[in-house]
Amino acid sequence: DGGITQSPKYLFRKEGQNVTLSCEQNLNHDAMYWYRQDPGQGLRLIYYSQIVNDFQKGDIAEGYSVSREKKESFPLTVTSAQKNPTAFYLCASSIGQGIYTQYFGPGTRLTVL
């Protein structure tokens, strides 16, 4: 079955640690996105990638980094520079650039201890 997988579902991090969230898709989509969801604030864009080896900052990229070495994979690293990383992280993908539907993964809940 085609879809988007995110792992782990729950992640706990100590302050000062970097952690990497995985996002994999087998939909053959060119574009991938990372969003952060906080209670009462909706979704906010962290990074997006329209093609392999290229990615762009979104509205809240500070403290995060990404890579896009393969079409299927778009991992997100939450660095120690991110001041308030506790949130629900959602990965999405779409066929390409333009007005195409984005499909979302199940999400990863990150908690900083």
Partner 1 sequence: SQELEQSPQSLIVQEGKNLTINCTSSKTLYGLYWYKQKYGEGLIFLMMLQKGGEEKSHEKITAKLDEKKQQSSLHITASQPSHAGIYLCGADSKSFSNSGYALNFGKGTSLLVTP
Binding site for partner 1 (CB under 8 A): 4, 6, 31, 33, 35, 40-43, 45, 48, 50, 56-59, 88, 90, 92, 94, 97-107, 109
For the CB of residue 28, give the shortest distance to partner 1 in the complex, in Å. Answer: 17
Q: Which is nearer to partner 1, 73 or 88 (CB)?
A: 88
For the CB of residue 99, give the shortest distance to partner 1 in the complex, in Å. Answer: 4
Q: Which is nearer to partner 1, 80 or 109 (CB)?
A: 109
Give me the DSSP letters along the chain: ---EEEE-SEEEE-TT--EEEEEEE-S--SEEEEEEEETTTEEEEEEEEEETTEEEE-TT-TTEEE--SBTTB--EEE-TT-S---EEEEEEEESSSSS---EE---EEEEE-
For the CB of residue 16, give the shortest distance to partner 1 in the complex, in Å. Answer: 27
